[in-house]
Every structure is written in structure tokens, then in C-alpha cells.
């Protein structure tokens, strides 16, 4: 029986507490197992290389230049004492401590990227490389559990009990505002504070790295601009606004007019969004996209085991298998819908003796091309010889596409047998085409294309496939957030907010 690699063992880690295990399961579904690592340690505090390391974060996600740091703390809220005492105590243990831990972890990771391990004894280094600090983007995410019931009681009126956001709060000012969070760290370093309800809502709604990162970037820009007082009834309400606001074809958050100095997003949007036919249709349409996730996870198992097969005449150690899969995983949920459809279509083509290639561009990145190649097995050829031939043809397509479409700067190829074959295998290829092809290379690949009858249709007739897909069948229209002239006596309590919202609606009807 084969011994498991260190990378495989790291992928099996589930967290040490129940709440950490829940977070790990959510994260691995969203970010996939190749890039998610629970309970990461540094070698601090190990004199002479002995003893246990220091836990940095409860979950680390490394994806290209993006690094997501998660802290997960479950702290009981004292319901039987005055809120003025109970809230500061809980805030310090659940939020303030998490924020400081995350800030310390970011500092260490930037300074000592080669001292990170996935085991307490610090014997197994982090399997993926951390990005260059000069280009890295770190996101600090504190998951705080235990205060939800107390928040629901405090706000009353059927409140969801999620933590509110108030961009005027910073540092010790949090002690005076129960269940409201602004900037726990000095210098307004952003910490995304979630609770037991909103962490699930966020990672289930935005279940790819690019989708979540786009939201976090947009949120930090919206809430960190400090051009107006902004009060939001909960993370889920902001998420609903983001999902239902589009700008230039991308999700966004509403623009705050320069002459407005207060913005309030009350409760209600998330519930409306979740129960809407638009979201139901989106979820149904998304089901087919998970084939893309399964394809990545399937190949990732071979990468972790060290058994991923290289390509002909290519040294195994020169192949960056993680880079290939990262290209696939860098697609949004919407883009994966189209890509999965294209791949399924290619697999369905099963004319004996005829290969089929479908070329498409990523809807997220028009300079990235995909080649889906299916080649039926010939009964007169050895299987290894068949795979070598298929891989060589994939090489020809992925380089030849640059000759046909010069704007393409990277190509991703997947070759397989059609669905009809009894056994199937896949070859994955990533080609960096950003530097272009010189005259000699162009001539070589032109010859290869002729040899494998790849892209031999006249250039004017060659087209790449592009599907036009829409995320929602019917667009949302929640209207703009409520804008107010700033008044220090404007209530932040959710119950008072509802009264304010009803008055605003009556005013609009007049």
C-alpha cells in the first residue's frame, strides 16, 4: 500500500474544533482543497527545533497573489449580565483578539514565507508558495461565533441577529456600541468580521475564489472610503446589495453621491433575494457548473499524490501542475457554467476515428483561451502511444491558437476520450503565450498543426466559441440605499430603522 504524501495528509486535515471543521468544509467547497489549509503553524517558539510551533491562523487560503487568512473563535456571550458589561467582554475575546491575531499572522507571512507549516511539529512545509509580498493581497477574515442569540435579543423585532457595520467605529469605541463593528485595528486596516450565520451565507453564495475576492475588494473600497457615515444591518444585507447591483457587467455596490454624508442599508434585502425567483433560477443554472469543480478536484488528487502524469518530451519537474489547475479555478461561477457546457459538448462528440476540438475564450478573461480536445481510441494503437499522440495534438492546438488569435496571452488545454469510451483519462496543459512566438517557433508550430490537422481551416473562417450567458433571468431592482443628511441622533437600532424605512416609503408615495 502506498504511503500518503505530506500534501495528501495536509488535505485531510479538518480543523481541531467543531466550528473550525465547519469552516474548513465551507472553505474547501468554495476554494477547493488544493488551496485551503486549516491550522497553519509557524516555527516560532521552537528552540533547537523542538516542541510545537505557534498556530498562525485557523484557515489559510493561498491562491496566486491572493491570501485569505481566517480566524475562527467561539466565545460564549454572558446573557445574564448587563449588556454594557457583557458586550465589551465578548468583543475583546471574540473580535479584538481575532483581529490582532490576523494582523500578526499577515506580518509574519510577509516576512517569513518559508517558515510556514501545516503540522504542529513543523515537519511539513506549506505545499504551495506564498506570493511575493510586493504583489500579494491579504484579506483578514474573523469568524466570531457565540454572540448571535444575544444580538437577536438585543435588537428585537425579529432581527436576524447578525453583526452590524458602522464605519465610524474604530478601536475602543466599539465597547460602547453593542453588536456593531467598524475597524478593530489601528490605521483602519480592514477586517471582515463574520458570525455563525453570515459566514455560511457568504461562502455558499460566493463559492469560488475570484467571486469572493471580487466581493471583498469591492466591500473594502465601499466601506473604507470614509466619504460618508455608512451603517449596514448585517453582512448578508450588503451581500444582497452586491449580488443585485451591476456596473459594466460586474457585481458592484451602489455609488455614494458626493453630496450625501450618511448611508443606511437596513434589513430585508437578503430575505427578499433568497426567496426570489431570480436567485432560484440562478442556483438551478449553476448546477451544471460544478462539473468544473469536480474536474479540478479529481486532477488535484493526482497532483497531491505526486502521480500527475506529464506530457511527452517534458521533464516532470518542469511542469507546474498547480498552475494549470489554478487557471481553471480562477474562473467565476458564471464563467464555469459556460466552460462546463463547452467541455461536455466536446466529450459528447464521438465520431469514430475523428478528433474534435472546441476552442473558447474565458468570459472573465478574454485573453485566456481554452481548448477542449477529444480523441477516440484507435483499436490499432497502444494506449500509451495514443496518449502521447493526443498530448502532442493538444500542444499543437494550444500554441497554434496564438497564430490564429494573436490577442491570446495564455492557453489552457484539456484532452480526453469521448464519453462513449469505456475508460477515460485527461491531459492538462497550460501555455504562457504572453511573450508571443518568434519566427522559428511560429514555423515549428505551423508544421505541428499541419501534422495533426489542427486549425487548418483558413484563418478567416476560424472562430472561437463564445456563449452569452446571464446570471439572472430577470434583473433585480431594489432601488438605491437610503441616503440621509448626517444627524448624530439618527438611530442605529434595527427596530428604529424599520420605522425610518416605513416613513421613507410613505414619503416616496406622495
pLDDT tens digit sequence for 234-264 = 999 999 999 998 888 889 998 888 888 889 9
Short-list 214, 208, 266, 259, CA closest to 240 = 266
Dihedral angle sign, alpha carbons of residues 27, 28, 33, 39: positive
Short-list 176, 60, 182, CA closest to 118 = 60
With both helix axes pointing from N to C terminus, report the angle between 277-286 and 333-348 in degrees, rounded to the nearest 10: 40
Q: Can you name the residues that pair with 371 across neighbouring β-strands?
A: 359, 413
Contacts of 97 (CB under 8 A, 6+ apart): 73
* pTM over cut 0.95: no
Tens-digit pLDDT string for the chain (510 aa): 677 887 787 777 787 788 888 898 988 899 888 999 999 999 987 777 777 889 999 999 999 999 999 999 999 999 999 999 999 999 999 999 999 999 999 999 999 999 999 988 898 899 899 999 999 999 999 999 999 999 999 998 888 899 999 999 999 999 999 999 999 998 889 999 999 999 999 999 999 999 999 999 999 999 988 788 999 999 999 999 999 988 888 899 988 888 888 899 989 999 999 999 999 999 999 999 999 999 999 999 988 888 887 665 554 444 588 899 999 999 999 999 999 999 999 999 888 888 999 999 998 899 999 999 999 998 889 999 999 999 999 999 999 999 888 999 999 999 999 987 666 889 999 999 999 889 998 899 889 888 888 886 655 544 555 566 788 866 666 555 555 444 444 444 555 555 555 555 444 444
Contacts of 160 (CB under 8 A, 6+ apart): 152, 197, 234, 236, 267, 270
Short-list 299, 288, 309, 317, CA closest to 467 = 288
**Per-residue pLDDT tens for 116-125?**
999 888 988 9
Q: Parallel, antiparallel, or unpaired for β 262-265 and 246-247?
A: unpaired
Question: Residue 308, CB half-sphere, CA atoms under 13 Å: how many?
Answer: 26
Alpha-carbon distances, residue 45 vs 41, 42, 100, 108 (angstroms): 11, 9, 19, 13
Q: What angle do CA 37, 38, 39 make, to 5 degrees?
A: 125
Amino acid at each position: 500500500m502506498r504511503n500518503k504524501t505530506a500534501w495528501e495528509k495536509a488535505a485531510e486535515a479538518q480543523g481541531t474544533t467543531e466550528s473550525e471543521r465547519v469552516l474548513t468544509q465551507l472553505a474547501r467547497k468554495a476554494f477547493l482543497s488544493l488551496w485551503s489549509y486549516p491550522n497553519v503553524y509557524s516555527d516560532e517558539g521552537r528552540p533547537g527545533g523542538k516542541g510545537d510551533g505557534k498556530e498562525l491562523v485557523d484557515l489559510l487560503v493561498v491562491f496566486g497573489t491572493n491570501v485569505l487568512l481566517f480566524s475562527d473563535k467561539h466565545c460564549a456571550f454572558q446573557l445574564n449580565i448587563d449588556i454594557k458589561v457583557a458586550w465589551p467582554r465578548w468583543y475583546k475575546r471574540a473580535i479584538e483578539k481575532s483581529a490582532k491575531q490576523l494582523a500578526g499572522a499577515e506580518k509574519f507571512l510577509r516576512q517569513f514565507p518559508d517558515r510556514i507549516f501545516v503540522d504542529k511539529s513543523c515537519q511539513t512545509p506549506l505545499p504551495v508558495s506564498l506570493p511575493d509580498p510586493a504583489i500579494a493581497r491579504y484579506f483578514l477574515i474573523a469568524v466570531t461565533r457565540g454572540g448571535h442569540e444575544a444580538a437577536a435579543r438585543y435588537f428585537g423585532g425579529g432581527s436576524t441577529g447578525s453583526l452590524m457595520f458602522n464605519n465610524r467605529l474604530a478601536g475602543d469605541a466599539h465597547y460602547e456600541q453593542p453588536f456593531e463593528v467598524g475597524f478593530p485595528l489601528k490605521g483602519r486596516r480592514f477586517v471582515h468580521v463574520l458570525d455563525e450565520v453570515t459566514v455560511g451565507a457568504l461562502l455558499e453564495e460566493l463559492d469560488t475564489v475570484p467571486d469572493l475576492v471580487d466581493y471583498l475588494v469591492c466591500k473594502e473600497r465601499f466601506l473604507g472610503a470614509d466619504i460618508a457615515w455608512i451603517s449596514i444591518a448585517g453582512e448578508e444585507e450588503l451581500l444582497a446589495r452586491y449580488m443585485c447591483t451591476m456596473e459594466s457587467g460586474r457585481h458592484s455596490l451602489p455609488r455614494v453621491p458626493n453630496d450625501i454624508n450618511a448611508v443606511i442599508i437596513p434589513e430585508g434585502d437578503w430575505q427578499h433575494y433568497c426567496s426570489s425567483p431570480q436567485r432560484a433560477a440562478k442556483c438551478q443554472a449553476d448546477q451544471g457548473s460544478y462539473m468544473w469543480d469536480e474536474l479540478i478536484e479529481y486532477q488535484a488528487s493526482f497532483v497531491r499524490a505526486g502521480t500527475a502524469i506529464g506530457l511527452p518530451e517534458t521533464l516532470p519537474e518542469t511542469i507546474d501542475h498547480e498552475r494549470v489547475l489554478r487557471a481553471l479555478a480562477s474562473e467565476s461561477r458564471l464563467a464555469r457554467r459556460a466552460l462546463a457546457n463547452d467541455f461536455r459538448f466536446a466529450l459528447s462528440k464521438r465520431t469514430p476515428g475523428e478528433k474534435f476540438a472546441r476552442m473558447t475564450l474565458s468570459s472573465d478573461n478574454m485573453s485566456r483561451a481554452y481548448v477542449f480536445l477529444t480523441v477516440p481510441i484507435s483499436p490499432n494503437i497502444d494506449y500509451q502511444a495514443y496518449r502521447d499522440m493526443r498530448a502532442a495534438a493538444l500542444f499543437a492546438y494550444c500554441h497554434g491558437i496564438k497564430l490564429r488569435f494573436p490577442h491570446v496571452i495564455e492557453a489552457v488545454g484539456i484532452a480526453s476520450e469521448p464519453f462513449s469510451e469505456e475508460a477515460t483519462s485527461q491531459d492538462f496543459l497550460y501555455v504562457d503565450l504572453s511573450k508571443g512566438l518568434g519566427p522559428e517557433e511560429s514555423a515549428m508550430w505551423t508544421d505541428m498543426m499541419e501534422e495533426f490537422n489542427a486549425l487548418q481551416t483558413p484563418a478567416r473562417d476560424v472562430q472561437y466559441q463564445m456563449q452569452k450567458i446571464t446570471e439572472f433571468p430577470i434583473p433585480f431592482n431594489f432601488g438605491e440605499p437610503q441616503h440621509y443628511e448626517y444627524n448624530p441622533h439618527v438611530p442605529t437600532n434595527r427596530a428604529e430603522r424599520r420605522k425610518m424605512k416605513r416613513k421613507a416609503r410613505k414619503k416616496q408615495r406622495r
